[in-house]
Amino acid sequence: MGKEEITPTESKVLSAIKSWQEKHGEAPLLREINQELNYSHPNALARYIASLEEKGYLSRQPGKRRGIKLLEDLIPVPVRGTVMAGPLTEEEQREGEFMYLPVSNVPNRLSYILKVKNNSMEPTFHPGDYVLVNPSKTFKHNDIVVAIADSENTLKRFYKSPDGQAVLMPDNRNYPPIVFGSDQEVNVQGVVVGKIGHVIKKQ
């Protein structure tokens, strides 16, 4: 992804700022951001704002009451369901759910988000993590891909063995690899380009 990766909590903070600006046409105060986030300790939000400023996602103008300014456009990226849990059903399409992400972090406007459902890719990804997927058919050795295997949606590393066999390899050694024969084609739906945070539902 483009700049230094934001944490799930920082993703929520950016989304709250963007949402307030769209509704009110001005930058929010800290207490107005917290109306959506509901942090019990006021210093917590200030720490996240400072971190986002340090990473280059926003700035604060000294002495200005509404001095928070986003330094990069945010775009909504759709959440399309879960991965490692079988094919996406109509119910799992999660219509109306999305995340606001910085434009530089999103490969293209066809990118989408999936929620990790099991632990076959631990320690890289854990159940409940959200991954950003570039729906590209171009992938290389050691890329983490979303693929169809045995009619199921799965998240694995793509490997090419020395004898040319394609293998979908879990990071968790308690799970077996999925090996394809020389006459079988790997049906890759996209390449994972990052891990991100909180889902924002459409109002």
Direct distance between the N- and C-terminal alpha carbons of the chain, in angstroms, rounded to an integer: 28
Distance CA 109, CA 131 (A): 15
Distance CA 26, CA 34 (A): 16
**Residues of 135-155 as b/e, b for ≥16 C-beta within 10 angstroms?**
ebeebeeebbbbbeeeeebbb
Helix (H, G, I), strand (E, B) or coil at 99: strand
CA torsion sign for 140, 55, 127, 123 is: positive
Distance CA 17, CA 67 (A): 12
Q: Give backbone dihedrals phi and psi of 41, rounded to 5 degrees, phi first.
A: -110, 125
Q: Catalytic residues, which ones?
A: 120, 156
Place of tokens 């799992």: 92
